[in-house]
Structure 1
Amino acid sequence: MSDTAIRRALLVGLLLLGVLLATLTRQSAPTLPGEFAARTAPLFGYSFRLGQNVKASLAAIFDRRDLRAEQRKMQAELQQLRQENQRLTLENRKLQAALRVQTVQGLGVVAVAPVIDDDPSGLYRRLYLGAGSAQGLRVGMPVTTASGLVGVITEVTPNNAVVRTVLDPESRVGVRLAGAPGRGIAYGAPPSMLRVEIAPEASVKPGDKVVSGALQGLYPAGITVGIVEQVLPISPGALKKVLMVRPAVQLSLLEEVQVLKPL
């Protein structure tokens, strides 16, 4: 037997002895005659006090154990409440984002999806979402934020989806000038711009807003696409005026997007 075990056994024995002495001296202390009783009285008193102290110590030990157990229980409940609060905060943020899209763009939101990755090859500008058909996503659904148009879903699995963004070289978005006549097509021009071809007669200048405008296209009309940064000179005989447009949404910073009902 180890020294620690021996010490523990001795401590338990002393505690039990103290309790026994306290009980015996209080309930069945003998009546002793004369001088002997006077000499032994302090011993019984010490034994009684020892027993009371031991009982109080044991009670305190068990009380502390109960308090520790209660503290652990309360800490576990507090952790659960914190996790629930985080979940509710995230849900509230998603609902607010969907409400902003509906308020700004007047469109129905199918789902709010997290952005989990982008195209690693650098050849395309595509986003990967942490939501898929299980969350109601389908190929052809427009993807947007309150700031503007992001792209369209081109691939879907049960729990993931791929978005072809407006910057992708394969992207084509029907657009128009906000507040002025002029329709055209916006082409992805990676890494960070759109190339818009519009009628040469259109009156446009840097700073003008470009919005989605094809009534029969993939995207609802009126969603902000970007801001004109440059109007390229028109060469003689050109059939189109070319604009360089900066997208309204900074795709590299997106954490979540709103997926809209398909047209």
Structure 2
Amino acid sequence: MAPSLNPRSAAPMVLAIMACISLPPARADALRGMVCGTLAPIWSFCGSGRACLASCVQSGVRLLGGAVDDVSAPERIAALEVDNLLLRERLRHLEAVLGQSQDLSVSGEQPQLLPANVIARDRAQWTNCMWVDAGTNTGSPLLQKGSPVVVGSHLIGVIDYVGKRQSRVRLISDPSLVPSVRILRYAEDGTAQYLAKGELQGLKRDQVTDTLLRGVGFNYDFGDCYGPARDLLSGRPVGQNEGEPTSLARAGDLLVTTGMDGLFPEGLQVATVEKVMPLKPGAYSFSLLARPSAGSLDALHTVLILAARPFERPKS
């Protein structure tokens, strides 16, 4: 006969569960950050397991070399291969940071940036957020809530929580993050053409299994410094009936930030258009599907953090 559960012994566990569920968002974020910061060394150890194993092999080879004066050529080659492997593991992070910083250029200037490593992902929000190993302990003024996060010149998210030793990145695949973007198309001669403007947001997890973004509200109803307003159907400048028509968006076009959302700087690459939805009768804008230009957001290891844009409240 199975033993019955004592209500008194179960009461503390029930109270603990209820307390965790009823935590306010700020306390919950702090608790998640503490757990991620505590588990970060384990995460790093697992990620560098190959290097640890190689180090053990290297120590064994060196010990053997100390015991035997005449080390054979194959053993020396093996030791050199281990050294090479360790150096590659140590340089991987530096190469990634250097390559990204060289690719990144916002408004023709090299911005200040803070490199960080991905240390954990929330299983409940795997496609929406991740944790990096940079917190207030770095002392960097770049790291704050609202700081854009990039891989090279590609936008991947924004810092939405800063802890002591770790921070959380809200990815562009999260439906709650809606960057303002516009179409950037390059002609055969390399000339850049800026076209329709709209917004991007991630699809809900139950809607799609792949990382896709949904674009909404794309049109060119108002002219700007990049050109005049254009007709939604023909793509010609408003008021001009002559000239060859052009599509305001098509598959393969690049989507870049406009800077008009007050969160991200202008010119960051966000996604590539996969499909443009047919224009519905009477619609004043069109929708599209796009894929992040940074590639798979599940395979990120090193990211760069940019300074948050200053927010000025209007004077009353």
Q: TM-score, normalised by structure 1?
A: 0.62
Q: Which has the higher helix share?
A: 1
CA drift at 1:104 = 2.1
**C-alpha contact 2:160 2:170 (8 A) present in aligned 1:** yes
1:241-256 alignment runs, 5 A limit: 241-249=286-294, 250-256=296-302
Pairing 1:176–2:182 present: yes
Count of aligned residue pairs for this structure pair: 188
Aligned-residue sequence identity (percent) comes to: 29
Of stretches 213-222 and 171-180 in structure 1, the one that deviates more from structure 2 is 213-222
CA offsets, 1:42-78, max 9 Å, x none? xxxxxxxxxxxxxxxxxxxxxxxxxx9x948xxxxxx
Three-state SS of the structure 2 residue aligned to 1:96 is helix
Structure 1 unaligned segments of length 5 or more: list them.
1-67, 73-78
What is the identity, as a one-letter code, of the residue corresponding to 1:194?
A: L
What is the identity, as a one-letter code, of the residue corresponding to 2:98?
A: L
1:94 & 1:217 partners in 2: Cα distance?
Answer: 31
1:20-39 alignment runs, 5 A limit: none
Three-state SS of the structure 1 residue aligned to 2:194 is coil
What is the identity, as a one-letter code, of the residue corresponding to 1:213?
A: T
1:184 & 1:121 partners in 2: Cα distance?
Answer: 29
CA drift at 1:234 = 1.3
Residue 103 of structure 1: aligned partner: 102
Structure exhibiting the larger radius of gyration computed from Cα positions: 1
CA drift at 1:204 = 1.1
**C-alpha contact 1:94 1:112 (8 A) present in aligned 2:** no
Pairing 1:230–2:244 present: no
Q: Aligned-residue CA RMSD in angstroms?
A: 3.0
Residue 259 of structure 1: aligned partner: 305
1:53-64 alignment runs, 5 A limit: none
Residue 163 of structure 2: aligned partner: 157
C-alpha spacing 1:148/1:154, structure 2 compared with 1 (3 Å): same
2:249 & 2:182 partners in 1: Cα distance?
Answer: 11
Pairing 1:195–2:214 present: yes
Residue 75 of structure 1: aligned partner: none
C-alpha spacing 1:232/1:216, structure 2 compared with 1 (3 Å): closer
Higher relative contact order (CA 8 A, sep 6+): 2
**C-alpha contact 2:156 2:171 (8 A) present in aligned 1:** yes
CA drift at 1:109 = 4.2
Three-state SS of the structure 1 residue aligned to 2:96 is helix
**C-alpha contact 2:120 2:132 (8 A) present in aligned 1:** yes
CA drift at 1:236 = 1.4
2:97 & 2:263 partners in 1: Cα distance?
Answer: 20
Residue 117 of structure 1: aligned partner: 120
2:261 & 2:289 partners in 1: Cα distance?
Answer: 24
CA offsets, 1:57-104, max 9 Å, x none? xxxxxxxxxxx9x948xxxxxx9xx89x95x75664444333333332
